[in-house]
Amino acid sequence: MISLDFLPKETVIYENIRQASSVIKDYAENRKEVVYGGLGIAVGVLITAKFFAWLNSKAVQMKKEDYEQLRKELFVPLAEVKSHDPELLKENSIRILEIGVGVGSNLTHYPDGSHLIVVDPNPYFEKYYNENRANFPNIKSESVIVATGEDMDMVKSESVDVVVTTAVLCSVKDMAKVISQIKRVLAPGGKYFFMEHIREWDQEKHGMRLFFQRALSLFFWPFMFDGCHVNRDPLPAINAVGFSDVKAEHLYAPMPFAVLQVCSPHLRGVVTK
């Protein structure tokens, strides 16, 4: 129990704190189930975040060659991007912002000399990300920011040449906000590269998959996989933000296990501000 003896007994502050602490104590005693429930949820969220960071680090090691090939193709046009920043242009390098970087599975696709800013709200990823980053000494890490894509106001407007998200928009709380943040931080002419698993588009052929995507996204999938939904389609939100050019394609990505077939439909593309 915290002692309040250090406060002068006559003060209003002392009286207020004493009353507040007794209200909290009474509440905790009378509503134990609410208090324990709240604590349970907080611990659950912590364990899920930690577990998901670990799971993702293992999943990345298991990634199949043919899935990696899809990422490799996505990043081919990176080689053509020229920096808006005269200093970087002189070095022939670019500044990339990766949102939801996880363990950093895209680092292998970034050109040598790239300057990299990463954003991820799950602090448990940092350890795995830093271990992986050590394998890419030719990429210059500018900052590692623990924040959501919705709230990355610390990244300056029009400051990056490229933004990347892969398997991230399935988990964000407000997709439209993340995409408008992407547009804000991109320099004019900058490019947004994405590869996201999405909702099945062919209801006639793959109605069963769509059914499972909807059912799993109600609770089980987001609960198990840190907020991931398998029933989203980011394209309308991307189109709505008003980029100057949007190139996107649907594809079925190969999955390592049958149960992951719900994640097979993908949207891959590059848009230009």
**Complex with ligand SAM: residue 94 or 99, whichever CB lies closer:** 99
What CA–CA distance (Å, rounded) separates 270 from 50?
31
Q: Residue 151 CB, nearest distance to ligand SAM (Å)?
A: 8
* Cβ contact 178:188 at 8 Å: no
Give the residue with the Cβ less far from ligand SAM, 120 or 200.
120
Smallest distance, Å, CB 225 to ligand SAM?
Answer: 7
User: Cβ closer to ligand SAM: 84 or 96?
Assistant: 96
Residue in the block written with tokens 């081919």: 76
Count Cβ atoms within 10 A of the Cβ of residue 92 and give its class: 0-12 exposed, 13-18 middle, 19 or more buried.
exposed
- Which residues would be at the binding site for ligand SAM (CB under 6 A)? 56, 60, 99-102, 105, 119-122, 125, 148-150, 166-168, 171-173, 227
Nearer to ligand SAM, 100 or 269 (CB): 100
Residue nearest to ligand SAM (CB): 102
Nearest approach, Cβ of residue 6 and ligand SAM (Å):
42
The distance of closest approach from Cβ of residue 71 to ligand SAM in the complex, given in angstroms and rounded to an integer, is: 8
Amino acid letter for position 5 = D
CB of 171 to ligand SAM, least distance (A): 4
In contact, 187 and 144? CB cutoff 8 Å: no
Instruction: Answer whether 141's CB lies under 8 Å from 108's CB.
Output: no
Radius of gyration of the chain (CA): 23
Of 40 and 123, which CB lies nearer to ligand SAM in the complex structure? 123
What count of Cα atoms within 13 Å lies in the side-chain half-sphere of residue 183?
17
